[in-house]
Structure 1
Amino acid sequence: MQSDLPRPYWLYALCRRLFVLVVAWPVVLLWLGLTVRHRMRLPRRGPAVIIANHNSHLDLLVLLTLLPLSRLPLLRPVAAADYFFSTALLRFIARWFLGLIPVQRGSARGTNSVTPAGDPLLLCREALARDEILLLFPEGTRGEPEVMSKLKPGLWHLLRDQPAVPVVPVYLQGLGKSMPKGEWIPIPFFVDAYVGRPLPYSDDKAAYLQTLANCFAILATKGATRIQRRTAE
């Protein structure tokens, strides 16, 4: 199966690791500070899907630091083609440094040549077939600070023909206050990442989406409790 990754692969892998070393780690670990709960639950090999809530421009940077550098080239974030692939410079950064998989959103579908015609999730399916790890934001776009939006059904559609693929939820606490939607300068604010257990697939779309929402709610409650304890100390 032909890969959508840039070639040569060794240069692509080097660019991905350098981006995390030079950009993501300094911002996340030095400027913000990050604590990860149950990191061992994260997948180290594919096929697998990591899903996370989405409140900030910094969400992707934090998630890129969660896996070891050796596994990083396997991690393929899924992003809006009309935003991250709109110019030549953005396409270069998206492909070589972030490893993004473009997906068309709503009315923009079919208007950008970086995505295949027909199945909007084709590149995602091919990535899973190559044993890569997808990174998805099931809300579809950045929401209000520290508030979960309604989950989109894209993940359910993606897994219909491969239901055995593990889906690992990650709840990010604090990024909505550090760099919310509409802001471009990060404010130092301690960040927690809570990794949940893999979630089973269900043929019932509504039930499956509710399971995802319930899992995020439980992780959010754990995050709120920890913040209260930290404040009281």
Structure 2
Amino acid sequence: MKNILFALLVRPVILFILGLNIRRKHKLPDKGPCVIIANHNSHLDTLVLMSLFRGKSFAKVRPVAAGDYFMKNKFLAFFSTKVMNIIPIERKMTRDFRGMFKPVLEALDDDGIIILFPEGSRGEAEQLSKYKSGIYYLMREKPEVPIVPLFIHGLGKALPKGSFVFVPFFDIFVGDKFFYTDNRNDFMVEMNERMDALQKEGQFSEW
């Protein structure tokens, strides 16, 4: 059902109405397990990232999303679970990171392609917010799983936080994969540097 509903309801909007240009598409994984990380500026970010995958790989795509938001009513819960196939996570303070990420870890065990936004909630258009360290604790449980960084450039202008106005055409920059390192500061620094480099590449492409 997920493949059919997504193909009918979502993919045409992403590909033909908004427009999409992928830089270094060959660096996208064609199978899991892996974790895709990206900046988060728009209501459409998750759907756009899902549209990058096809066939068997698409069936394994599992976005991580806030359960308190995406499961708050029947319509949104249906769309989130039947079309997007999200992994709902409760946003709360806890030291039991393994417990919180249990459904994500189970999806990775099933060769899942996990979509994760380290910023947490949506930020301002085209601006990177401060990363939360949750991804460090997730990857600590799966250090062998590759992390693929992406930067979505321009989509924050298409449907930014607080807006419902479409502005077409945007780019996605795919970076080199990297892996967990057993030092939280080093890991967060490396992730920041990789995302900053992709952001600058997107700004350069406008010149």
What TM-score results when the alignment is normalised by the length of structure 1? 0.84
Please state if 1:209 is matched with 2:195. no
Identity of aligned residues (%): 39
Match of 2:28 among 42, 47, 50: 42
Q: Which runs of 4+ in 1 moved over 4 A?
A: none
Please state if 1:194 is matched with 2:186. no
Cα distance in 1 between the residues matched to 2:9 and 2:26: 24
Matched to 2:112, the amino acid is E
Matched to 1:199, the amino acid is F
Matched to 1:215, the amino acid is R
**What secondary structure sits across from 1:71 in the alignment?**
helix
Match of 1:160 among 140, 147, 153: 140
2:53 — aligned with what? 67
Q: Give the drift of 1:34.
A: 0.7
Q: Is the 8 A contact 2:123 2:129 kept in 1?
A: yes
**What secondary structure sits across from 2:156 in the alignment?**
helix
C-alpha change, 1:195 and 1:84, in structure 2 (3 Å) is same
User: How does 1:129-208 map onto structure 2 within 5 Å?
Assistant: 129-188=109-168, 190-208=169-187
Cα distance in 2 between the residues matched to 1:171 and 1:200: 18
**What secondary structure sits across from 2:205 in the alignment?**
helix
Listed as ranges, the gaps of 5+ residues in structure 1 are: 1-14, 110-117, 229-233
Please state if 1:97 is matched with 2:76. no
1:25 — aligned with what? 11
2:197 — aligned with what? 218
1:158-186 Cα distance to aligned partner (Å, 9 max, x none): 11122010000110000111111001232
Cα distance in 2 between the residues matched to 1:69 and 1:123: 23
Cα distance in 2 between the residues matched to 1:212 and 1:151: 9
**Root-mean-square deviation over aligned CA pairs:** 1.6
Cα distance in 2 between the residues matched to 1:156 and 1:102: 19
1:37-74 Cα distance to aligned partner (Å, 9 max, x none): 11111111111111110000011121011112332110
Larger Rg: 1
Cα distance in 2 between the residues matched to 1:28 and 1:145: 18
Match of 1:77 among 63, 69, 72: 63
1:89-130 Cα distance to aligned partner (Å, 9 max, x none): 2222211111100111126x8xxxxxxxx8111100111111
